Structure 1
Amino acid sequence: MNGKRLVQGFLVFLAAFAALLIYTQFFAYYERRDGVESLMIAGTPVAVSGYRGISSSSSPLKPRACFALDPEAVAGLAPATDATPLTAPFWFRCFDAHQLTEDIVAGAATAYALTRDEPKGFDEMVAVYPDGRAYLWRQLNETFRDQ
């Protein structure tokens, strides 16, 4: 009987630990950032609408956002050739990094660097579709990227 209770106790501990691990990986450190009305693009505030975003103080790589803007606001910027959208948590459904990557490669969306090396080692990127849909993320630059 003692072995059976030990195994049951271990399974309960394992389930609780797994639930806590999943919570900390996918939910605990994210904060919703909704209702942003403008972004700084090339030093100019640009009006955005429908902003839905997430961020975290635990990592500079956490920001992701989906919104709409006037595509003319980024028309004067040089396209970024090193854009690599990073996946978002499964529950942040408006940001699909795989589709975004395919669209950037195919030319259906154009990526621009909003900031370079702010904070150090990170670039803030935005991908804009011709219809005004836009997606924001932060990625590692050459300072910290594996070579």
Structure 2
Amino acid sequence: MNGRIVVASIVLTALGAGALIYWLQIYAFYEPVAFAPGEEIRLTPIIDEEPEVIVANDVTGIDADSSPLRFRACFTTPLSQAMLTETYRVYPDPTPLNAPPWFDCFDAERIDAALRKGEAIAFLSEHDIAPGVDRVVAVFPDGHAFAWHQLNAEEQ
């Protein structure tokens, strides 16, 4: 009888710990990003180091203080890919990171596939937004755009 109690307590503790770890990874720490009007999304120009604000509509985003890599944002822009590539720096090796499943506007696999096919174009938003971390923005031909943080080449 005592063996069953010990095994049951170990199993229940493991299940509880697993549920807590899952909740911490998927839900805890994330907060909506409050973008200041006029400063929602910025891109770095080809001829300058200082990022500039671009037109961004319907911006929604999440971030967490626990890691600089947890930032994700979704928005639309009326700016064309052609105009953006002539004005702003294209990001050399974009790798969108997965977002929590409940932040359903950001689909890292779809964004990555579009970047690889050349349907979407990635731009440098801000270099070293946190030490060793860049903000990257990918823009689709229809104006849908997505932003995330990723380790820059200096950290890889």
Q: Scaled by the length of structure 1, what TM-score is found?
A: 0.88
Question: Does the aligned pair in 2 maintain the 1:80–1:112 contact within 8 Å?
Answer: yes
1-structure distance, mates of 2:61, 2:30: 10
Question: Does the aligned pair in 2 maintain the 1:67–1:135 contact within 8 Å?
Answer: yes
User: Which residues of 2 match residues 72-111 of structure 1 at below 5 A?
Assistant: 72=80, 74-75=84-85, 76-111=87-122
Deviation sequence 1:88-113 (CA, Å, 0-9, x none) = 12222111111111101111111000
Deviation sequence 1:73-94 (CA, Å, 0-9, x none) = 7341132221111111222211
Letter in 1 for 2:84: V
2-structure distance, mates of 1:118, 1:34: 16
Q: Choose from 67, 85, 94 the match for 2:75.
A: 67
Match of 1:46 in 2: 54
Match of 2:127 in 1: 116
2-structure distance, mates of 1:94, 1:7: 43
Q: Scaled by the length of structure 2, what TM-score is found?
A: 0.84
1-structure distance, mates of 2:12, 2:116: 47
Matched position secondary structure for 2:70: coil
Gaps of 5+ in 1: none
Match of 1:15 in 2: 15
Letter in 2 for 1:17: A
Moved more, 119-128 or 32-41: 32-41
Moved more, 41-50 or 61-70: 41-50
TM superposition shift of 1:50: 1.7
User: In percent, how many aligned pairs have the same letter?
Assistant: 34
Match of 2:140 in 1: 129
Runs of 4+ aligned structure 1 residues displaced above 4 Å come to 34-37
- Aligned residues: CA RMSD: 1.8
Question: Does the aligned pair in 2 maintain the 1:125–1:139 contact within 8 Å?
Answer: yes
Question: Does the aligned pair in 2 maintain the 1:36–1:51 contact within 8 Å?
Answer: no
1-structure distance, mates of 2:11, 2:36: 45
1-structure distance, mates of 2:62, 2:90: 24
